[in-house]
Structure formats: C-alpha cells, structure tokens
Amino acid sequence: MRAARNQVGLSGADLGAFLGLDKTQVSKIEGETRGISVREMPKLAQALRVTPQWLLGLKATPTFSLAHRLNGAAESAGAQVRAAAVLNVEDLLADQGLVDAPVPTAAGQAVMEQIRTGFPAPPRSRQEAQRQGRRMAELVRETLNLGNAELGDLPDLIETHFATDVVLSPLGTDVDGLCAHTEDRAVIVASTSFDAGHVRFTLAHELGHHLLADPRPVIDEDEVEPASGTLTERRVSAFAAHLLLPPAGVGEMLDTRRVTQADFDTQASKAGRAARSLADRYGASVPATVYQLADLGFIADTDTWIDLLDNQKEWADSAVTSQRTIPSVRPPRRLLDAALDAAAARKTGTGPLAVLLEREDEDAIYTEFVAEGSLRA
C-alpha cells in the first residue's frame, strides 16, 4: 500500500487527513498491524486510485496496472482521475465476468503494426514529422476503407478498430486530454469544455500517440495545437489533421468551388466560405483547418486566416452540415453497455453507472435506465 501511496504522490499525513486518520494509524495499516475497516475501504481505494479488490489482495489486472500509472499530476489531475475512475469500473465488472477485454479489428491491428514498424524512430525535422503524420493518416484511411469521407462518430471508430476506450468529460480548459496505455490496455480522455472540432482534434492527436506505441505510459496534453510542440507532437498533430481533413477531400471541395491560392491570398469571401465549409463538413477546428490548408499550399498567413474564420460569422454555409456535436459526458460504450446489462440483471447496483455517467443521483439512474427498461442512452 505504501508503494501505491507514493505512486499518487500522497504523504502518510495527506492520506490520513483524507481518511480521517492520523499518520500513526496510516503507518500501522501500511505495516499490516492494523486492518482496514469496511467504512474506510471505499475512501482508501479512491485516494490511491485503485480498486477495493486490489486492497484486499486480489490479483492485479491489466486494467489496474494502467490505472495505477495515473498519478494525478497537477496540470492534468482531472483527466487522470477520470481515466482512473473508468478503469476501476472496468476492473469491478471484469472481476465478476461482466465485461470482456477490448479487441481490435483485423484492420485496426494491421494499421497499428504498419505504423509501429514503419515509424520506429522520432522524426528529425518538421518536414519529416509532417510527412510521417500524413502517411500515418493515409494508412488508417486506406486500411479501414474510409476513403475521403468525413469521419462521423470518431470515438466509436477509435473504440471499434483500435481497442482503445474513449472517455469524454467536461474537465475545463486547462487540459485538452490524455492518452494512457500499456501493452494490454489503452484509454483516451478528452475535455469537452472546448468546441466539437477541438475535441475531435484532441481525440485524433491522442490516437496518434497510441498508434505509434509512444513509450510514455501516460501522455498528458495541457494544450494540443496543430503546429506547435516537439517534433513528436508535430507528427501526431499532422496525423490528426490529415485524418480529419484528407487532402484529396479538401482539394475536391476547393476545386468544386473553384477556389484557388490567389483567393486565399486576397482574402476573398468565397475562400472564407470554403474554409468554413471544410471545417464544418469534416468536424475540424478552425486552427486545424487553416494549418491543413497551409500545408497543402493554399494559405500563407495562418494567424490572419484563423482570426478571419473566427470573426467572419457570415462565412458560415447553411448548406453544409454543421460541425458534429460532442456529448458532454461519454463513457466507453462497451463499459456502459456492460454496466447497463449488469444493473438490469441485478448483478450490480447502479454505482458503476453513476461513475460512468458522472452522476450522483443513483435512484434517478435506476428509474431512468433500469426500472423503465431504457437500457441504452
């Protein structure tokens, strides 16, 4: 238990204050000369970001191993706590045989193998980072037969093909998200306190880290920008931009509207409307759209165009489907389904559902999802 406390950065006094115990009592628990009461067990598990099963000495699972790597760094504590909470629910359900481990599709596995063998080393220049990110996105679209179409339900695509759980939560604007992964499990968290395009870019960016088997078990992102950061970050940002905004699709729309580089140079209205339509059609953020247009040679002054698109609201095109909505709270679909089925079958209470849905009204959850038979959100 002492190792678990150190992992989350708590002193004995800190843990004691959280539990209502003094430092001596905590030392006795860690020295196994004092037991843990039933009342103390849930709070202790919460403080250490582990499951009660682990505290009771049950076998550590891959899910627990990943959750335990989330040490709650100050700048991303909310995202890490949310990821750990979801992983602990999985551990609870899996311990009772109520949920299976995620498995990638054959196509998803093929993508991961191609990317990991094709790009084993970090890029050495910005140009190389851009080229590698673009090729990664091409591999995903080619192997999954996505063509040049816009990506609809991005969280579902990530979960279905890459066995990576996606968690969406309103975590504020101090952190964009994170990717936490081991050989056995992966989870991506994104803050929904941003607009939908920003959230989708964060998801694609974090997916890039996982597809590359980034050696860091937890990759915190306090700010995901399309064209900034280390070369490693630039590579996954290029991947995200090309995945969301495939060059062929971008070129096709601009050709159809007869928009050229000269139109962007002169800040023509038709260029602005086309750029806004691209962002809306593909569910991309304004910065990602502008930087993608710059990478394709259409835009030279990215800062000016970001400001223009943010402020020229009349450029919005009502004929194009507006940017996809993102639910404020979204737990991994497989865990939500398992928790709903378990509650309906009276194999668990509504506690797991409350954690997954970020709700405290367990009675209302029971009425809404279980008693009335509404078993799918």
- How far, in Å, are 45, 74, 163, 358 from residue 84 at the CA level? 11, 15, 17, 13
| CB-CB contact of 182 with 213 (8 Å) | no
Looking at the predicted structure, is the pLDDT value of residue 60 above 60? no
Tally Cβ neighbours within 10 Å of residue 152.
Answer: 9
Q: Which amino acid is at 9?
A: G
Q: What pLDDT shows up at residue 40?
A: 72
Beta strand 177-181 with 218-221: parallel, antiparallel or unpaired? antiparallel
Greater pLDDT, 272 or 4:
272
* 148 close to 246: Cβ distance less than 8 angstroms: yes
User: Within the chain, what is the greatest distance between any pair of CA atoms?
Assistant: 78
- pLDDT (0 to 100) of residue 80: 86
Cα separation, 99 vs 347, whole angstroms:
12
pLDDT, tens only, 146-178: 999 999 999 999 999 999 999 999 999 988 999
Q: 3-class SS at 283?
A: coil
How would you label 25-49 residue by residue, b for 16+ Cβ within 10 Å and e otherwise?
Answer: bbeebbeeeeebeeebeeebbbbbb
For 159, the token pair is: 């979960």
Range in 25-29, 86-90, 195-199, 304-308 the model is least confident about: 25-29
Task: Name residue 39's amino acid.
Answer: R
Percentage of the chain surpassing pLDDT 90? Answer: 57
Q: Is residue 236 predicted with pLDDT exceeding 60?
A: yes
Name the band, by pLDDT with cuts 50, 70 and 90, for residue 95. Answer: confident
Mean per-residue pLDDT for 2-15? 79
Residue 335 near residue 93 (C-beta atoms within 8 A): yes
- Determine whether 310 is exposed, middle or buried from the number of CB atoms within 10 Å of its CB (0-12, 13-18, 19+): exposed
Rounded CA-CA distance 35/56 in Å is: 10
**What average pLDDT is seen over the chain?**
86
Q: Please name which of 168, 110, 145 lies closest in space to residue 246, comparing C-alpha atoms.
A: 145
Average pLDDT score over residue span 277-304: 93
Residue 377 has pLDDT above 50, yes or no: no
Instruction: Give the pLDDT band of residue 204 (cuts 50, 70, 90).
Output: very high
Higher pLDDT, 353 or 375: 353
- pLDDT recorded at residue 22: 87
Determine the distance from the C-alpha atom of residue 170 to the mean position of all C-alpha atoms in its chain, rounded to a whole number. Answer: 12
- In this structure, which amino acid lies at residue 70? L
Which is higher by pLDDT, 30 or 90? 90
Q: Residue 370: pLDDT band by 50, 70, 90 thresholds?
A: low
* Other beta carbons within 10 Å of 125: 10
Domains contained in the chain, CATH given: 2-71 (1.10.260.40), 72-330 (no CATH), 333-371 (no CATH)
Give the closest residue to 208 by CA, choosing from 124, 138, 304, 294.
Answer: 138
Q: What percent of the chain has pLDDT over 70?
A: 85
pLDDT higher than 90, residue 265: yes
- The structure tokens listed for 365 are 């959850």
Q: Which residue would you say has higher pLDDT here, 7 or 247?
A: 247
What sign has the CA pseudo-torsion 201, 212, 62, 156?
Answer: positive
Would you place residue 290 in the very low, low, confident or very high pLDDT band (cuts 50, 70, 90)? very high
* Integer CA distances (angstroms), 342 to 136, 161, 338, 359, in order: 39, 25, 6, 18
When pLDDT is averaged across residues 194-222 and rounded to a whole number, the result is 92
Work out the pLDDT band at 325, boundaries 50, 70, 90: confident
pLDDT of residue 74: 47
Is residue 103 predicted with pLDDT exceeding 80?
yes
Cα 40 to Cα 45: distance, rounded to the nearest angstrom: 9
Mean pLDDT, range 243-272, rounded to an integer: 95
The predicted-structure confidence for 125-137, as pLDDT tens digits, reads as follows 999 999 999 999 9
313-322 as b/e, with b when 16 or more CB fall inside 10 Å?
Answer: eebbeeebee
Residues 87/64, Cβ–Cβ less than 8 Å: yes
